[in-house]
C-alpha cells in the first residue's frame, strides 16, 4: 500500500503525528494509500519554513515570479495524463473530466502570468503643493488554503497560483480523501523553479485546520467546502484577526421557459446535473420548468437521456460519470433519495441499487430524476452532492424566479430561453452570484471572478480574477513631499486640498 507524505521546504516529509487516513479507490472500494494527518507541531514546521522563505520571494520582481508559473504551466501540459490518472483513481471522476479539472486550474495560472500588471499601484503627480501620492500592493505574507475533494487540482491552483504570484508563501491543506494530485502539483512547482518553502502541502483533518486558523503567522485563509464548515472557518479565522474567504454549499436552479429549445435544455440538464456524479458545487440540481406543458415536454425529453447514462470506473472509455468519492457519500445520497420518495415526489428514473459486475464494492449510485418536487422537501432544501436531479414545477416566470431567490444558497443559476427580455430581467434581478443564460454551468473564466451570494459565501472577495490579487495583497498609500516644497514652521491644521 502506498504511503503518502507532506511536502515541506521543497521535499517529501513523512508524518510524525502517528495518525493517518485511508485513501480509497472509489471504483473498487479498496484502500489504495494512506495519508498522514498533521498535528500542530507539523504545521508549525511548515509555517516556519514559509516565514523564512517569503521575504526573499516577495523581493523577487513580479515578472520573475510569473516566469515560474510559466514553466509550471508547461509542466502541467507535459504531465496532464499522469495527473488525470492519479486524480481519477482517488476521486472517481472520468479521465476527460479529470483533465478538465486540471485545465481549469491551469487557466488561472495563465491569468497569473499578468501579475506584473495586476500588482501595479496608482500614482498622482502634484496631489498638492509639491506633494506626490502613490499606492502599492504588497503581499500579506503567509496565506493558507483548505481545499475540497471534488476538484483536487483546480481549486488548489485557484488558491496558490495568485497567492504565490503576488509574493506570498502558501500553506495548502488539501482534502485527505484525494491528496495525491495536490502533492504532485507542489512537486511540479518546485521543478518549475519555485524556492523551497514557498509552497508547503500539509495533509490533515480538523486538527490541522484548527492549527491553521489559530497560527499567528498565517495572515489569510481561503476555504471551499460545505456551508457549516465554511461558517466555522470564517468565524474562527476572523476572530484570530485573519483575512478569510470561504465558499460553501449550493443548490443551483435552472429555469426552463416555455420558448426554450427543449432538446438543448434537456442535454444541458443531463450534463450539468450528472457530470462528476453530481459532486460539483456548480452542478444543476434543480430544474424549474415554467408551466405544466413545459414540464411535461421537459420530462419526456429528460427521462430517456437519464436512463441512457453510462456509469463506470474511470478506466472505462465511455462512462459518463463514475462513483461517489466514499461509501459515506453514497449512503447520504441514498438516504436523501429515499426521503424524496417518502415525501411524495415522483421518482421518474430510479438509480438506486445500481451495481456493476466486477465493481460490486465500488461507491456507485445510479442517476435519479425526480418530478413534482416541492420546496419543503429535503431533496430540495439540501445540497445532495450526488447524481440526483429534482424537478420543481412553476406556474409562472415570477414563481420560478422566486424559487431561486428564496433558497438559502446563491452560488449559481441559469435560465434557458429565446426571450432576451426574460433573460435580461433574470440576470438583473436574481440574487445569485453566477448566472448563466443558455449556459448551464456558468463558471466564469479565469480573468473574471468566481463566487456566490447568500449562504454560499462568507467574505467579500471572490476567487481568481482580479479579486484574488486583492485578497492576497494589502494596499499601502504613500504621500511624499521633498524639502524644496516644505515651508518653515509647524503646521497645526489638518492638510486639505485648498
How do residues 346-390 score in pLDDT, each as one tens digit? Answer: 999 999 999 999 999 999 999 999 999 999 999 999 999 999 999
Q: List, in order, residues 6 or more apart from 67 with CB less than 8 Å away.
A: 193
pTM score: 0.95
Q: Average the pLDDT over 32-41 and give the result.
A: 98
Say yes or no to pLDDT of 191 above 80.
yes
- pLDDT, residue 492, reads 78
Task: Work out the average pLDDT over 303-314.
Answer: 97
**CATH number attached to the domain at 2-248+456-478:** 3.40.605.10
Residue partners of 357: CB distance under 8 A and separation at least 6: none
Percent of the chain with pLDDT over 90: 95
Cα–Cα distance measured from residue 278 to residue 163, given in angstroms and rounded to the nearest whole number: 29
pLDDT band for position 482 (50/70/90)?
confident
Which strand (E) or helix (H) includes residue 22?
Answer: strand 20-25
Q: Could you tell me which residue, 270 or 496, shows the higher pLDDT?
A: 270
The CATH class, in words, for 252-437 is alpha beta
**pLDDT over threshold 80, residue 490:** no
Determine whether 161 is an active site residue: no
Please report which confidence band the pLDDT of residue 497 belongs to, taking 50, 70 and 90 as the band edges: low
Q: What mean pLDDT is predicted for residues 488-497?
A: 75
Q: Are strands 243-247 and 346-349 parallel, antiparallel or unpaired?
A: unpaired
Q: How far apart are the first and last CA of the chain?
A: 74
Q: CB-based contacts of 30: which residues, under 8 Å, 6+ apart?
A: 24, 361
| Alpha helices (H) in 112-226, listed in sequence order | 115-118, 154-165, 180-191, 206-214
Encode pLDDT of 411-435 as tens digits: 999 999 999 999 999 999 999 999 9
Tell me what the pLDDT averaged over the chain comes to: 96
Average pLDDT over residues 257-261: 98
pLDDT on residue 498? 61
CA distance 233 to 480: 40
- Which residue in the list 112, 246, 281, 368 is annotated as catalytic? 281
Q: Which three cell numbers stand for residue 445?
A: 473564466
The percentage of residues in the chain with a pLDDT greater than 70, rounded to a whole number, is 99
DSSP label of 26: T
Are the CB atoms for 216 and 43 separated by under 8 Å? no
DSSP H helical ranges for 151-261: 154-165, 180-191, 206-214, 227-239
> Which sequence spans correspond to the domains of the chain?
2-248+456-478, 252-437
Q: Is the pLDDT of residue 479 over 90?
A: yes
Residue range 95-144, pLDDT digits in tens: 999 999 999 999 999 999 999 999 999 999 998 888 999 999 999 999 99
Would you say how long the chain is, in residues? 498
Judge whether residue 160 has pLDDT over 80.
yes
Amino acid at each position: 500500500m502506498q504511503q503518502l507524505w507532506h511536502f515541506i521546504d521543497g521535499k517529501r516529509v513523512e508524518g510524525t503525528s502517528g495518525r493517518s487516513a485511508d485513501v480509497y479507490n472509489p471504483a473498487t472500494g479498496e484502500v489504495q494509500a494512506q495519508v498522514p494527518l498533521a498535528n500542530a507541531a507539523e504545521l508549525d514546521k511548515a509555517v516556519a519554513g514559509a516565514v523564512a522563505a517569503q521575504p526573499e520571494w516577495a523581493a523577487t520582481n513580479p515578472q520573475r515570479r510569473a516566469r515560474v508559473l510559466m514553466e509550471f504551466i508547461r509542466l502541467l501540459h507535459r504531465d496532464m495524463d499522469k495527473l488525470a490518472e492519479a486524480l481519477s483513481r482517488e476521486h472517481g471522476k472520468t479521465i476527460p473530466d479529470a483533465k478538465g479539472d486540471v485545465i481549469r486550474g491551469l487557466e488561472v495560472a495563465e491569468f497569473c502570468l499578468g501579475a506584473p500588471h495586476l500588482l501595479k499601484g496608482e500614482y498622482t503627480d502634484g496631489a498638492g503643493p509639491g506633494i506626490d501620492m502613490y499606492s502599492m500592493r504588497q503581499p500579506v505574507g503567509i496565506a493558507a488554503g483548505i481545499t475540497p475533494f471534488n476538484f483536487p487540482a483546480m481549486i488548489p491552483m485557484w488558491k496558490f497560483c495568485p497567492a504565490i504570484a503576488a509574493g506570498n508563501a502558501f500553506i495548502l491543506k488539501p482534502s485527505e480523501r484525494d491528496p495525491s494530485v495536490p502533492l504532485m502539483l507542489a512537486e511540479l512547482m518546485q521543478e518549475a523553479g519555485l524556492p523551497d518553502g514557498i509552497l508547503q502541502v500539509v495533509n490533515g483533518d480538523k486538527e490541522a485546520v484548527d492549527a491553521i486558523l489559530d497560527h499567528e503567522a498565517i495572515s489569510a485563509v481561503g476555504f471551499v467546502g460545505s456551508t457549516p464548515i465554511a461558517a466555522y472557518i470564517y468565524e474562527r479565522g476572523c476572530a484570530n484577526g485573519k483575512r478569510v474567504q470561504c465558499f460553501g454549499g449550493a443548490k443551483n436552479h435552472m429555469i426552463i421557459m416555455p420558448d426554450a429549445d427543449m432538446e438543448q435544455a434537456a442535454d444541458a440538464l443531463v450534463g450539468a446535473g450528472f457530470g462528476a456524479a453530481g459532486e460539483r458545487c456548480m452542478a444543476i440540481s434543480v430544474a424549474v420548468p415554467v408551466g405544466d406543458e413545459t414540464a411535461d415536454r421537459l420530462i419526456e425529453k429528460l427521462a430517456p437521456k437519464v436512463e441512457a447514462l453510462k456509469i463506470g470506473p474511470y478506466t472505462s472509455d465511455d462512462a459518463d460519470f463514475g462513483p461517489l468519492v466514499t461509501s459515506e457519500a453514497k449512503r447520504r445520497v441514498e438516504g436523501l433519495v429515499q426521503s424524496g420518495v417518502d415525501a411524495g415526489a415522483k421518482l421518474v428514473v430510479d438509480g438506486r441499487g445500481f451495481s456493476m459486475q466486477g465493481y460490486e464494492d465500488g461507491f456507485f449510485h445510479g442517476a435519479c430524476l425526480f418530478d413534482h418536487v416541492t420546496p419543503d422537501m429535503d431533496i430540495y432544501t439540501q445540497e445532495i452532492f450526488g447524481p440526483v436531479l429534482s424537478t420543481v414545477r412553476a406556474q409562472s416566470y415570477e414563481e420560478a424566479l422566486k424559487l431561486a431567490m428564496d433558497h438559502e444558497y446563491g452560488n449559481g443559476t441559469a435560465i434557458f430561453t429565446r426571450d432576451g427580455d426574460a433573460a435580461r430581467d433574470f440576470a438583473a434581478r436574481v440574487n445569485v452570484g453566477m448566472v448563466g443564460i443558455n449556459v448551464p454551468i456558468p463558471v466564469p473564466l479565469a480573468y473574471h471572478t468566481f463566487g456566490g451570494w447568500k449562504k454560499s459565501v462568507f467574505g467579500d472577495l471572490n476567487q481568481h480574477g482580479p479579486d484574488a490579487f486583492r485578497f492576497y495583497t494589502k494596499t499601502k498609500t504613500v504621500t511624499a513631499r521633498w524639502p524644496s516644497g516644505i515651508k518653515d514652521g509647524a503646521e497645526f491644521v489638518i492638510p486639505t486640498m485648498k
